[in-house]
C-alpha cells in the first residue's frame, strides 16, 4: 500500500473563506494521480475520520487534466475565533500524508 506522501509532488491547504478549508493534492504523473483517484482508501468517509467532520460535508473534486485532487470541508471553528489553532488553514494537509491507500 502506498501512502499519500509517497505519491504527491506537492500538497497545500488553505482557507476557503472563514467557514471552510480546502486541500490541494498535486501529482507529477498520471499514474500517481490515478492511484489516489481509484483508491478505495481515499473516500469522504476516510477523510471524515481524519478531519473529524461529517462525511456528507466533505467535497472531493478530481481534476485529471491537471493531475490534482481538491478536498474541501467545513472548519471545526470559525477562522479567527478564540479556539482557531490554524488561522490560515496551512497545516491541515499534514493529517492525510500518512493515509494508506
Query: For the segment 14-68, what is each residue's pLDDT rounded down to a tens digit?
Result: 999 999 999 999 999 999 999 999 999 999 999 999 999 999 999 999 999 999 9
pLDDT at 1 over 90: no
Mark residue 80 as left, alpha or beta (left: phi above 0; alpha: psi -120 to 50; beta: remaining). left
Beta bridge partners of 71: 23, 60
Query: For the segment 70-84, what is each residue's pLDDT rounded down to a tens digit?
Result: 999 999 999 999 999
Question: Considering the domain boundaries, does residue 75 fall inside one?
Answer: yes
Strand 68-74's sheet: what is its strand order? 10-15, 20-26, 68-74, 59-63
pLDDT at 47: 97
Number of domains composing the chain: 1
Q: CB neighbours of 6 closer than 8 A, spacing ≥ 6? A: none
- Rounded average pLDDT over 71-99: 93
pLDDT at 78: 93
Question: Considering the domain boundaries, does residue 65 fall inside one?
Answer: yes
Q: Which structural domain, as residue segments, surrounds residue 14?
A: 10-85
Question: Considering the domain boundaries, does residue 44 fall inside one?
Answer: yes
- In eight-state DSSP terms, residue 29 is S
Amino acid at each position: 500500500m502506498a501512502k499519500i506522501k509517497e505519491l504527491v509532488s506537492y500538497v497545500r491547504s488553505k482557507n476557503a473563506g472563514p467557514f471552510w478549508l480546502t486541500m490541494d493534492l498535486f501529482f507529477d504523473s498520471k499514474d500517481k494521480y490515478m492511484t489516489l483517484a481509484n483508491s478505495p482508501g481515499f473516500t469522504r468517509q476516510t477523510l471524515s475520520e481524519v478531519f473529524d467532520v461529517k462525511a456528507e460535508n466533505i467535497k472531493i473534486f478530481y481534476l485529471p487534466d491537471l493531475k490534482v485532487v481538491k478536498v474541501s470541508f467545513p472548519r471545526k471553528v470559525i477562522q479567527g475565533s478564540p479556539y482557531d489553532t490554524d488561522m490560515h488553514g496551512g497545516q491541515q494537509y499534514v493529517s492525510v500524508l500518512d493515509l494508506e491507500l
